[in-house]
Amino acid sequence: MFEYTGNMHIHSRYSDGSATISQIRNYAKQAGLDFIIVTDHFNMKAASQEGYKDGLLMLVGMEINEAHNHYLALDIDQVVKNNTEHPQEVIDAVNQQEGIGIIAHPLEYASNFLNEGNVYNWVDWSVEGFQGIEIWNLLSQWKGSISNFYKALYYILNPQGALIGPYPQTMRRFDDYQRQGKRIVACGGADAHAPGLRLGPFYFKIISYPFSFRSINMHTLLPQPLSGNLATDKKMIYDALRNASCWVANDYFKNSRGFSFTLCDDRQIWNMGEDVPWQENLQCKVSTPYRARVKLYKNGELAAESEGREHLFQGITRGIYRVEAYLRYRCKYRPWIFTNSIWVN
């Protein structure tokens, strides 16, 4: 498998982002990304610029709905209209185009200091047919950490301090769907806007694009290297997302490139998103590019832990397995990697 790193949930000046497409490309290239997915609100005006430039692949989707029930639509050709109060119709419209639909920032916490306390939660959980959940959203989590002037100033200067990891409620919901047999994909998004903020006499650009592209990223595993052909590579990236052959990582402190989570027997190896026929000699192997605390979850419950760079878990039985990794940085364990699942049938 070949690993490629991208950043998704990005806004440009075509909606409420502060950068042009050209600037976004340059920031992403400087951050060392292989691909980005631009998802402006309510439009796909950037689609005419989709493709490669200077070795960076840019794909274009969109974000749908307004006050709540925000939905990311990827791998579509036509704009999907807002239908905030009836999100099932939005999901159905994306599915009619055979696109990938992701529930965006399902849980936000209000900050009375910012945005008049507004949140953009997902409120209708009766819906069906969506493909993914954004378990970790950079901008949402940053906003939810701001409760007063001093915290605003601190997190403007140290935005990485606000990244406390996916909210437990969101992970419980994700695990619940998995236990029900629903192959929901765990995704992470920057929600990059880089808006301006005035604090008294001071004016700041918050959560810059360069910071966003070094933080909450998607790492995909592809069956062959990217070729430079838009149609071929676009399909491979989107197939990796559809099939949950990917993980979410906060690459700010240490890049997670080179991470591996597999199940194996004496003859075969299975990766994230795959089904494994149960047998007695199954074991789980996890490799982290830096020393980390690794937690193995089975059916949403903590099953085992390990410390180091190479991690071996034996006694694998039938169930749904995923991994969380925590990086020790400056005397503190920080949330780092959150994988998609491997299913043992």
> Is residue 114 scored above 80 in pLDDT?
no
pLDDT in tens, 60-109: 999 999 999 999 999 999 999 999 999 999 999 999 999 999 999 999 99
Question: Helices (DSSP H) in the chain: which residue ranges?
Answer: 21-30, 87-96, 138-144, 149-157, 168-179, 209-212, 230-242
The residues that bridge with 163 in the sheet, in sequence order, are none
Distance CA 133, CA 136 (A): 9
Q: Which two tokens stand for residue 251?
A: 């690459």
Query: What's residue 113's pLDDT?
Result: 75
* Amino acid in the structure at residue 233: D
* pLDDT grade for 153, boundaries at 50, 70 and 90: confident
The model's pTM = 0.96
Q: Which of 283, 284, 288, 271 is nearest to 325 (CA)?
A: 288
Rounded mean pLDDT, 8-12: 98
Which are the contacts of 299, defined by CB distance < 8 A and separation ≥ 6?
175, 178, 179, 319, 320
* pLDDT grade for 19, boundaries at 50, 70 and 90: very high
Assigned fold of 260-344: Immunoglobulin-like (2.60.40)
Q: Under CATH, which architecture does the 2-250 domain have?
A: Alpha-Beta Barrel (3.20)
The dihedrals phi and psi of 303, each to the nearest 5 degrees, come to -110, -35
Which are the contacts of 295, defined by CB distance < 8 A and separation ≥ 6?
302, 304, 305, 323, 324, 325, 326
Query: What's residue 112's pLDDT?
Result: 75
246-250 vs 62-64, strand pairing mode: unpaired
Task: Answer whether 66's CB lies under 8 Å from 96's CB.
Answer: no
Domain definitions of the chain by residue range? 2-250, 260-344
